[in-house]
Amino acid sequence: MSNINQQNMITQGTKLVGDIFSEGDFRIEGDIKGNIKTSGKIVVGKTGVINGSLKGENADIEGSFSGKLKLSGMLTLRSSAYIEGDVEIAKLSVEPGATFNAICSMKGGVKELNNSDEKTIPEKKEKSA
């Protein structure tokens, strides 16, 4: 059985073209063109660049991301972050200075309204004379 507590790292100066599948956390300081899927946390450092898709639980971005981002948890954008594309997340944290040019939808934390909720509003009764 593999140890998924270790962090994978793509270092500065490394370019990777292709897809990455991992159960562990990832730190990216290099340049990735492709798709990343992990059940761990992704950290994109200041020198990190991702062009493609990212699917995971949580992400902390200081560098650049362009593409489709889908997280079941929290997206944290640091002040140096640059994001563009389609983003689907549960929670969002943005530091002042971050660039966020994305179509964003928040899933998981949104409670959908249904017809039974409308019945809780009291109806006005007409006064009889």
Per-residue pLDDT reduced to its tens digit, 48-58: 999 999 999 99
Per-residue pLDDT reduced to its tens digit, 34-47: 999 999 899 999 99
Indicate the Cα dihedral angle 53, 14, 41, 18, nearest 10°. 30
**91/3: higher pLDDT:** 91
Q: What does the block give as tokens for 118?
A: 């409308």
Q: Which of 56, 61, 85, 95 is nearest to 73 (CA)?
A: 56
Per-residue pLDDT reduced to its tens digit, 107-129: 865 444 454 444 444 555 555 55
Q: Which of 68, 74, 108, 73 is nearest to 87 (CA)?
A: 68
Q: How far apart are CA 57 and CA 80, in angstroms?
A: 21
Which 3 state secondary structure label does DSSP give 117? helix
Q: What is the pLDDT of residue 116?
A: 46
- Using 50, 70 and 90 to split pLDDT, how confident is the model at 24? confident
Q: How far apart are CA 6 and CA 109, in angstroms?
A: 29
Is the pLDDT score of 60 beyond 50?
yes
| Domain residue limits, the chain | 7-118
